[in-house]
Copies of this chain bind each other. A is one copy, B any other.
Amino acid sequence: MATIRDIAAEARLSIGTVSKILNGKRKGSRSDVIRNAQRVYAIAQRLNFRPNAAARALVRRRSSMVGILLRNTQAHRFHFLAAFELILGMNERLQSAGYLTTLLRVGDIAGKDREVPRIFQEKLIDGLIIISGMPPDIVAKIETFFEQAIWVESSVWHPNNCIRRDEVATGELVAQALLDAGCRHLLWVGPPPVASSHFSVAQRLEGARRTAHVAQVPMEIHEPEDPYIISEELVRGLTPRTGVIAYNSLIAQALANQAGRFGKNAGRDFGLVSCDSEADGAVTFPQLSRAEFDRFGMGVAAAEMFLRMQSGLIKKRASQLVSSQWIAGTTLGLY
């Protein structure tokens, strides 16, 4: 592995000078200066020279690395797939700003058994981006160690440094669409709310509930243990006046599949909307009327937030709520 010292020796220059040349810190145009630079470039290239990032980080006092923290649990696998789009968005923006991203996953079992991620044991990253909710002890650790943290789609919500989807508005949006289409009663199908639920579970329902309330339309709530298993009874109860609100598009797809078995079609025999749109859903179930949400874009926005924070231009960055977009589809119901 060639070092700057090897280049200096070959070029018969000091390592300081080589460093300056390689970092473009000279602007002179004297012929010997130019020639030195060209010699150095040539040697560096021939030797496959690449500066040692650790040495650089040490002297610059920053690593230009950002950590992306995920929760490491089996139960969150779908959320994880969605998280990937966020991550790719962050990666895109951060990579182009010269940052490297490192994926960190933190377990769920609190206490001594839990392996403490290396990131809490070493000074390594310049800052942290946290995706989704975290257990309280992890949140506490983050707040002690990382001044520079951005919370994305997380249960943590401060006036600053947070970004998340406006889930209440999403619930309102889809419920209103069903009402506008003529539905006279609503039916919510979502996962059971538990303490560790993602905030979207409660907020989407809350938004739908509000809208139903204002319109004085009744809303029934289904929160089965496994929301992807749709009961026959539920399907039998569907009428053209029913507007089903699925928490996400997987539930919507499962419901449409099950309804199909009983000869019922979403859009013809009942109304169906989803609060969310997973990547695959847009391909396999494009007719689904739904609220969509640009996760990649939010990743970019979160990275932007992070970069501004790093630049020190502003110590704090006001939190952002991101709106959903409406995708009409054909499963809305009667007009």
Interface of A toward B, CB cutoff 8 Å: 1, 48, 50-58, 63, 65, 72, 77-78, 80-81, 84, 87-88, 91-92, 95-96, 98, 100-105, 115, 117-124, 144-145, 228, 250, 253-254, 257, 260, 278-281, 283-285
Report which of B50, B54, B98, B253 forms a contact with A57, defined as CB distance below 8 A: B54
Residues of B within 8 Å of A1, CB to CB, are: 123
Query: Assembly of this chain: how many copies?
Result: 2
Q: Is the CB of B102 within 8 A of A283?
A: no
What are 28 A-B contacts with C-beta separation under 8 Å?
A48-B145, A50-B120, A50-B123, A51-B121, A52-B58, A53-B54, A53-B63, A53-B122, A53-B123, A54-B54, A54-B58, A54-B63, A58-B58, A78-B280, A78-B283, A81-B279, A81-B280, A87-B103, A91-B103, A91-B105, A92-B105, A95-B105, A95-B115, A95-B117, A103-B103, A228-B284, A250-B283, A253-B284
**C-alpha spacing A27/B81, complex, angstroms:** 46
> A250 is contacted by which of B54, B63, B118, B284 (Cβ under 8 Å)?
B284
> What is the bound-complex CA distance between A280 and B280, given in angstroms?
7
Give complex CA distance A250, B115 in Å.
Answer: 37
CB-based contact B285/A257 at 8 Å: yes
Task: A55-B58, A250-B280 given; name 15 further pairs at CB < 8 Å.
Answer: A1-B123, A48-B145, A53-B122, A53-B124, A58-B58, A77-B279, A81-B279, A95-B115, A95-B117, A100-B118, A228-B283, A228-B284, A254-B283, A257-B285, A284-B284
User: Whole-angstrom distance from the CB of A66 to the nearest CB of chain B?
Assistant: 10
In whole angstroms, how far apart are the Cα atoms of A117 and B91 in the complex?
12
